[in-house]
Structure 1
Amino acid sequence: MNVSSDTIKEKFSKASRIERFQELIKIKTISYNDPEKIDFAVFKQFENTLAQLYPSIHAACEKTHHGPTGLLFQLKGREAGAPIVLMSHYDVVPVNEELWTVPAFDALIKEDAIWGRGTLDTKGTLFAVMESVEENLDQGFVPKNDIYLSFSGDEEISGDSAPSIVRHLKSLGIEPALVLDEGGAVVEEVFPGLKKPCALIGVGEKGYLDVSISLEGQGGHSSAPPAQTLVTRLAKVLIKLEQYPLQAHFTPPVSDMFKTLGKESEGVYKFIFKHLNVFAPLLKWYFTKQGGEMNAMIRTTIAPTKMAGSKAFNVMPPVATIGLNLRILGTDKIDDVIAHIKKVSGEPDLIVTVHERREASPDSPSDSTGFKNVKNAIEAVWPNAVVSPYLMLAGSDSRHFCEVSKNVLRFSAMALSKTERGLIHSNDERITIKGLLEAVDFYKALLKHY
């Protein structure tokens, strides 16, 4: 489709882009774990709004529906080679309006930013994908091979939309050359000794495990407690799990990140990361003591998140329970992690109940054509950023696509400060207008390779 240059200029002006993004933010596509709370009419409204805002995409692409809320757009290419998949999700987490300083779904512009739930996670990415493809189509763009746009509306609740899309692609024998989803970003002050911004491309993500650990015993009145209460014994289990963490490993994504970013570090850090094999024991010790993101990069982490005992102050509980959330490193298997918990606990009667589990994703190579193309697109928009692979600590829909592609990458095309990163799933979520437009520029740069 060819559109006049004047029309394109007006359609994709800064003001027009902002207005379209505001329309998407205003639609309350909230995901809830309780299906009864989900308003699917709102999700349909979002789909219809996409059709209104992006007519060229809807004219050029075949759109199919998958699972509860999955949307898959197929843009046909000139050839029949391996396609690429650009992903995002359009559901958002609930909000507590009382804690926001502006209405969470009004998409207000304040302090050169657009405020609203989903601006960062991840309607901003979806918007950037749609804007870049729409603009390219208006300029007569036809890709070399097929391009799929894959959007789910239930990522926040680990729904079946993305898995349904994967099953569809698998049934057709499609093996994408690249799958790109949310993940790392352009960030600063996250790596020791590095003063430059770095752009982190996730090449794998950790696994996930929710378990509860429980002890059962004699309940009763609290006036004469036993020498060791159930709660006390469980507290000691937590201390032992902290004292004896799972073994640290420098997996390939982490080693590659240390080597890549270490070259750009200053002072003693540059020397340390240059000789990673020599200093690995010291780094593992240091990261363990520090905790936080670096520690999470090198081991399976165990975080106590819930506790339950008696409902009354003067009653001893017959059962005491602690909930644990674990993020599984690729070197560990979940069954082995559960065995570690039981062994370290020192409690032969410890009950371990699994609530949700998934193993770590396989790692994607950082020397693939897809990685290089993403890297080149990043450098076109953020030329001062050091591009590096990394291990993603959180989960995303992209893990499902590992069934059909060996090149699954995770990068959110945004430059985010530490404060902005803290706004994801939090109050007063917002994206700067500059950052939003940079995301569009990134996808426009990426499409030049396809």
Structure 2
Amino acid sequence: MTEHINPRRDKRSTSSWFMHGALVIGLVSALIAFNNYQTWSSSPPGLDIYNPGANSGICQQVQKLSPRNKQVDQYVREKVDSVEYSREIINKLSGIIRIPSESYDDLGPIGEDDRWNIFFQVEHYIKAKYPTVFQNVKLDHANTHGLILTWEGSISPSEAKPILMLAHQDVVPVLAENVNDWTHPPYDGHYDGEIIWGRGATDDKGYLISIIESLDLLIKSGFKPKRTVILAFGCDEEISGENCGRPISDFLHKQYGDDGIYLIMDEGSTGIQREFEQSFAMVSVAEKGYLDIAINVSSMGGHASNPPDHNVIGILSEIVVAIESNPFPGKVTPKNPMFRFLECGAIHAPDSSFPMAVRRELGMVAQNDSTSQEHLANSLDDMRYYFKTSQSVGKINGGVKINAIPETASTMINLRLAVETSIAEVEAHYEALVGAIAKKHTLAFSGFHLPCSSEEKRKICMIGVDALEPAPVSPVDAEAYRILSGTIKNVLKPLGTDDELIVTPYLMPANTDTKFFWALTKNIYRFTPVNLVENLNRAHTTDEFIRADEFVREPLFFASLILNADDVVG
């Protein structure tokens, strides 16, 4: 599961902000805050539409969707429910975990840096474990290690757009000094009878095995698709995706063109969770944007015995203080998928578990009341980065000797852009802050779109790196989303004693390889069909794991989705 980082990338730093333990804490904090909030003397406009059970059309749920081909469906279910099958698929996941396919920020080009060669082992492994699949699909390579498996349907892609499922072969490295912190060695793929341990168990080798397993099951059942099914496995999702994710997208775009894909599925930072005493299947329909900003301050050096009032380190410090003192405001708006999630909670959660004051505020937010939008975001403070642009000063450098006045100092700031904002707005905010400081110290100033003068010695230069706009919000009224929702309801079960699993839109705070695929379809959904707990099953940290009883049923979900998507083909 990715975050967009590349020197650049600090993936699970984001996830630490957004784990669902924090979500629970945030909602509890919000309840306390709202209980102390002076409510309206009369109900605000729109409040009634958020009463539990209201027939308002908000967060409407589809019915369970079962494949029409009962024979194939029964075959898949019986296989998945068998003890022998469970043992086989667990062994397959354990085996691929044992291949340490780590991706590093400083990797050189494929074909030149030998560290890429580990991905030949991954390809060999899945070919050896899934001979039936590779006998029935067309295998293409994008930049050597990007794998594209095409199971051609009987109907032309121009008449029935293909379904595309993404996963990635790479994992984040395990630092040598942290190996002893693991309960089981990170690349042993240890199974203790309940849990499969190891780097990649959740992110993302479990997902990869599950989607290829779904094809294996369907092929062996005798199923012949009408709609083409494509699996694509990147090799560098953890370090930006430029070496495999983008080439895969370019390959598929050349094949199918704009809007040529019916549905894209990829890993999600959420799965099935229980909030407000209600079980939700959280489908991420958007991702926050991304931007790294580099700021460099230059001036004249000299001997430390005769320093200026403010040297470059002091000026850079002033810039950092200004940045942290001027955070981006937060607001909850109807454009944000998290607003839809809160609506679903208001409608479907038990009346006693969803704060009435939050429901009141939602009624005003729905009518674009800016005061309520800001107040609700501030009240949900522990969830604030779902509703605002985050900024984190991650690197700073300056000075080479204690008795020498430094000539340069630099910093890098990592930002995750709220869905309502843009790169241009963020750049304008930073140019205003830093430009004022440059003027104060009579330094030349080069903003994001001006060249940094090589002749000027006293200056501040700003550069934007790895810029990515917030992802388009995928539709929740599309046929593809309804099929996905119906499949979720048919295959997956709520947590606890809930009568119904509520499917809700959600927001992905990190970034996946889907960022390269926006032109191929509007229907991009990120969802992992398991209960993700403990910091996304501890992805990117020690003791990454996945529960075996949930993992073995993932292929049933993906096979059912393929069957249901095939059923709507004319």
Write the letter of the residue equivalent to 1:311.
Answer: V
1:192-250 alpha-carbon deviations (Å, 9 max, x no partner): xx232322212121221111112222334555654434333333323333333335452
Higher relative contact order (Cα pairs below 8 Å, separated by 6+ residues): 2
Are the counterparts in 2 of residues 261 and 386 from structure 1 also a CA contact under 8 Å?
no
**In structure 2, do the counterparts of structure 1 residues 275 and 264 end up closer, same or farther at CA, with 3 Å as the change threshold?**
farther
Whole-angstrom CA distance in 1 between matches of 2:303 and 2:528: 54
Is 1:105 aligned with 2:187?
yes
Are the counterparts in 2 of residues 166 and 403 from structure 1 also a CA contact under 8 Å?
no
Are the counterparts in 2 of residues 263 and 270 from structure 1 also a CA contact under 8 Å?
no
Whole-angstrom CA distance in 2 between matches of 1:52 and 1:422: 28
Write the letter of the residue equivalent to 1:78.
Answer: S
Whole-angstrom CA distance in 2 between matches of 1:120 and 1:248: 31
Are the counterparts in 2 of residues 30 and 38 from structure 1 also a CA contact under 8 Å?
no
| Equivalent position to 1:238, from 320, 343, 346 | 320
Whole-angstrom CA distance in 2 between matches of 1:358 and 1:436: 32
Matched residues, percent identical?
A: 26
The aligned counterpart of 1:423 is: 538
Is 1:264 aligned with 2:348?
yes
Counterpart of 2:475 in 1: which secondary structure? coil
Write the letter of the residue equivalent to 1:76.
Answer: E
Whole-angstrom CA distance in 2 between matches of 1:214 and 1:245: 20
The aligned counterpart of 2:261 is: 176
TM-score, structure 1 normalization: 0.89
Are the counterparts in 2 of residues 26 and 105 from structure 1 also a CA contact under 8 Å?
yes
CA apart distance, 1:421: 1.6
The aligned counterpart of 1:47 is: 123
Are the counterparts in 2 of residues 298 and 329 from structure 1 also a CA contact under 8 Å?
yes
Whole-angstrom CA distance in 1 between matches of 2:366 and 2:243: 42
Counterpart of 2:121 in 1: which secondary structure? helix
**In structure 2, do the counterparts of structure 1 residues 216 and 93 end up closer, same or farther at CA, with 3 Å as the change threshold?**
same
More displaced, 279-288 or 138-147?
279-288
Is 1:347 aligned with 2:431?
no
Is 1:33 aligned with 2:105?
yes
CA apart distance, 1:130: 1.2
The aligned counterpart of 1:276 is: 365
Is 1:446 aligned with 2:446?
no
Are the counterparts in 2 of residues 188 and 195 from structure 1 also a CA contact under 8 Å?
no
Whole-angstrom CA distance in 2 between matches of 1:264 and 1:8: 34
Are the counterparts in 2 of residues 89 and 151 from structure 1 also a CA contact under 8 Å?
yes
Write the letter of the residue equivalent to 1:253.
Answer: P
**In structure 2, do the counterparts of structure 1 residues 240 and 288 end up closer, same or farther at CA, with 3 Å as the change threshold?**
farther
The runs of at least 4 consecutive aligned structure 1 residues that moved more than 6 Å come to none
| Equivalent position to 1:210, from 283, 288, 292 | 292
Whole-angstrom CA distance in 1 between matches of 2:314 and 2:468: 31
1:316-373 alpha-carbon deviations (Å, 9 max, x no partner): 4222212101112343332332121010232234321223222222221111121112
More displaced, 11-20 or 317-326?
11-20
Are the counterparts in 2 of residues 86 and 180 from structure 1 also a CA contact under 8 Å?
yes
CA apart distance, 1:94: 0.7
**In structure 2, do the counterparts of structure 1 residues 282 and 311 end up closer, same or farther at CA, with 3 Å as the change threshold?**
farther
TM-score, structure 2 normalization: 0.72
1:2-53 alpha-carbon deviations (Å, 9 max, x no partner): 9xx7996879611111111111111111112233565333211111111111
Counterpart of 1:79 in 2: which secondary structure? coil
Are the counterparts in 2 of residues 219 and 316 from structure 1 also a CA contact under 8 Å?
yes
5+ residue gaps, structure 1, are: none
The aligned counterpart of 1:389 is: 505
**In structure 2, do the counterparts of structure 1 residues 231 and 13 end up closer, same or farther at CA, with 3 Å as the change threshold?**
same
Are the counterparts in 2 of residues 64 and 72 from structure 1 also a CA contact under 8 Å?
yes
Is 1:373 aligned with 2:483?
yes
Give the count of matched residue pairs: 443
Are the counterparts in 2 of residues 205 and 395 from structure 1 also a CA contact under 8 Å?
yes
**In structure 2, do the counterparts of structure 1 residues 16 and 422 end up closer, same or farther at CA, with 3 Å as the change threshold?**
closer
**In structure 2, do the counterparts of structure 1 residues 68 and 295 end up closer, same or farther at CA, with 3 Å as the change threshold?**
farther
Query: Please, what is the CA RMSD of the aligned residues?
Result: 2.8
Write the letter of the residue equivalent to 1:29.
Answer: S
Is 1:326 aligned with 2:415?
yes
The aligned counterpart of 1:58 is: 134
Counterpart of 2:215 in 1: which secondary structure? helix
Counterpart of 1:404 in 2: which secondary structure? coil
Write the letter of the residue equivalent to 1:327.
Answer: R
CA apart distance, 1:149: 0.7
CA apart distance, 1:405: 1.0
Whole-angstrom CA distance in 2 between matches of 1:248 and 1:267: 20
More displaced, 40-49 or 264-273?
264-273
Whole-angstrom CA distance in 2 between matches of 1:188 and 1:8: 27
5+ residue gaps, structure 2, are: 1-71, 439-444, 446-459, 495-499
Is 1:70 aligned with 2:146?
yes
Are the counterparts in 1 of residues 269 and 536 from structure 2 also a CA contact under 8 Å?
no
CA apart distance, 1:287: 3.4
Quick check: which one's strand share is greater? Answer: 1
Write the letter of the residue equivalent to 1:163.
Answer: R
The aligned counterpart of 2:519 is: 403
Write the letter of the residue equivalent to 2:365.
Answer: L
Could you say which structure has the larger radius of gyration?
2
Output aligned runs, 1:79-228, within 5 Å.
79-80=155-156, 81-99=160-178, 100-101=181-182, 102-110=184-192, 112-158=194-240, 159-174=242-257, 175-188=260-273, 194-222=276-304, 225-228=307-310
